Amino acid sequence: MAALFTPKPEWLRKKIRPALYKEMSDMLEAGNINTICQEALCPNIGECFSQKVATFMILGVNCTRRCTFCAVSKEKPMPPDLLEPKKIADTVMKLGLKHVVITSPTRDDLDDGGAEHFCKTVASIKGMDSSVVVELLISDLRENESAIKKLSLSGAEIIGHNIETVPRLYHVRKGADYNRSLRVLQKLLASNPTCATKSAIMLGLGEKKEEVLQAMEDLLEVGCRYLSIGQYLSPSAEHTSVVEYVEPKVFEFFAKKGLEMGFKHIKSSPYTRSSYMAHEYLERR
């Protein structure tokens, strides 16, 4: 369904000022480095880039799935860039980052979903500075158990996999399966209990409060203790429509309720995204 662009409420009118992040954008372009911030049209890009913070996107910019909420390109993916792990590590060092988030488009065309490439990137960063905290945000890897175990033992301190929404609304996640995503989180933790797991949920797609609370319970049952909750914003008229602009007090309710339920840390606000203020999560371990 094409998106219907109704006026955004006041709390969703964050202004993006290109001048604030031009230096960061130019540096990333010069190094041929991709970010999900740019590819997914993140509304926090001005804030994060101005602080020289970004979520690096490896394995290209083209996704093999057809999720109707996501702005990432659906063109045919290119082969992995073998030099990319070092390029990412060099950029991390240049920026002086102490907490790094790395993600990728879904790569169902690769036997391991890109797991080995993720591991090489983590190793490259840790090889330059072992104190850097590395967070990965991965696809479901088609539940490839070997790939899941490899990533859990990669040296990354936290690994996220987003369930995105409640089971009833999974038509927006083409090729995904709610229970499979839960199993991926469960298997990550089973393979390495010292690695924290994290997930994310979008609000505004027509979900009910009880459905969100049940999804939160489901995450806790598989050992996930870190959660991001944000407002879905349609990237274009060709993407899934926003059903509701959820009021800030609702996000506050889920944050408070989630902590009572057993989550260690929740970031919940209209502008929260998977890796927004990512360094705060492990501070709550």
pLDDT at residue 104 tops 50: yes
pLDDT single digits (tens) 120-135: 999 999 999 999 999 9
pLDDT single digits (tens) 19-38: 556 777 777 877 788 876 66
How many angstroms separate the CA atoms of 191 and 167, rounded?
A: 26
Give pLDDT, residue 3: 43
Q: Is residue 24 part of a domain?
A: yes
Going across the sheet that includes 158-160, the strands are: 55-57, 99-103, 133-137, 158-160, 196-203, 226-231, 265-268
pLDDT single digits (tens) 239-281: 888 999 999 999 999 999 999 999 999 999 998 887 766 666 6
DSSP codes joined into one string, 34-91: -BHHHHTT-TTHHHHHHTT--EEE-S-SB-SS--TT--SB-SPPPPP-TTHHHHHHHH
Give pLDDT, residue 1: 41
Query: Is pTM, for the whole model, over 0.75?
Result: yes
Full residue range of the structural domain in which residue 168 is found: 13-282
Distance between alpha carbon 95 and the CA centroid of its chain, in Å?
21
The dihedral formed by the CA atoms of 94, 96, 99 and 101, expressed in degrees to the nearest 10: -20
How many domains is the chain partitioned into structurally?
A: 1
Q: What is the mean pLDDT of the chain?
A: 87
> For the chain, what percent of residues have pLDDT higher than 70?
84
Distance between alpha carbon 229 and the CA centroid of its chain, in Å?
11
CA 233 vs CA 18, 153, 165, 241: distances in Å: 20, 34, 13, 8
pLDDT at residue 202 tops 90: yes
How many angstroms separate the CA atoms of 61 and 105, rounded?
A: 6
Q: Is residue 2 part of a domain?
A: no
Q: Is residue 119 part of a domain?
A: yes
CATH, residue 72: 3.20.20.70
